[in-house]
Amino acid sequence: MSETTYVKAINGALADAMRADARVIVIGEDVAEGGPYTTTAGLADEFGTGRVLNTPISESAIAGVAIGAAQSGLRPVLEIMFIDFITLALDQIVNQSAKAHFMSGGQLTVPMVLRTQGGGGQRGGAQHSQSLEAWLTHIPVVKVVMPSRALDAAGLMAQRDRRPQPGRVHREQDALLQARGRARRAAGRADRPRADGAAGARRDDRGACRGWSARRSSPPSAWPRRASRPR
């Protein structure tokens, strides 16, 4: 089986999702032109700018539009270009996306995916090199995935649509975007994409850890009942 790069695996998974479901849209800065890492390259050519929407440089607005679109029946994939700027969208993610289902008594769902990338070692500067995903793992209901290889990147993106989820963060490592690997499991091989809800470490022949994939555990199936007051 031919190999591809991590970034092309994500691009292919996005295209497959958009072909399979007309409700899937992509929103973010420069996404119609492919973005700074070509993750969304070619999507506007195939699906049009009505489904691949460029936005102003406003992370709060990007997240807000995506949340509203998701509540209205679409399945947006929004891109925050660098995880450093997730700080500008935290109110939307924490207080709107993550809580809409609970606060509406189950009437609203927010089936969206937030894509972002980050990490140091690429000379991106102090405001383009952080790893802030740990903040997001502390938000109830929000799920964070961190694929370390092309197979997991494509597989986890493909799993995003199996059930409505009130906010899922697909955090990519900029140092891995051009790393090569298989995007689909070869026939007869035991090697499989990382399952949703599982974590693992990838090691080279010398035993050195080359990457890891993780996702926080699923939220409780039901919110705990309010404790009754003692009489």
How many other β-carbons are positioned within 10 Å of the β-carbon of residue 115?
A: 24
Q: What is the DSSP letter of 129?
A: S
Residue 27 CA to residue 114 CA, distance in Å, equals 10
Residue 74 CA to residue 111 CA, distance in Å, equals 8
Which two tokens mark 6? Answer: 């991590």
What distances in angstroms separate CA 70 from CA 26, 96, 101, 148, 230, one per listed residue? 12, 12, 12, 28, 41
Identify any residues that bridge with 215 across adjacent strands, giving them in sequence order. Answer: 145
The catalytic residues are 128
Which two tokens mark 23? Answer: 């409700």
Q: Vertex 68, ends 139 and 146: CA angle to 5°?
A: 40
What type of residue is 14? L
Helix (H, G, I), strand (E, B) or coil at 75: strand
Identify any residues that bridge with 28 across adjacent strands, giving them in sequence order. Answer: 54, 79
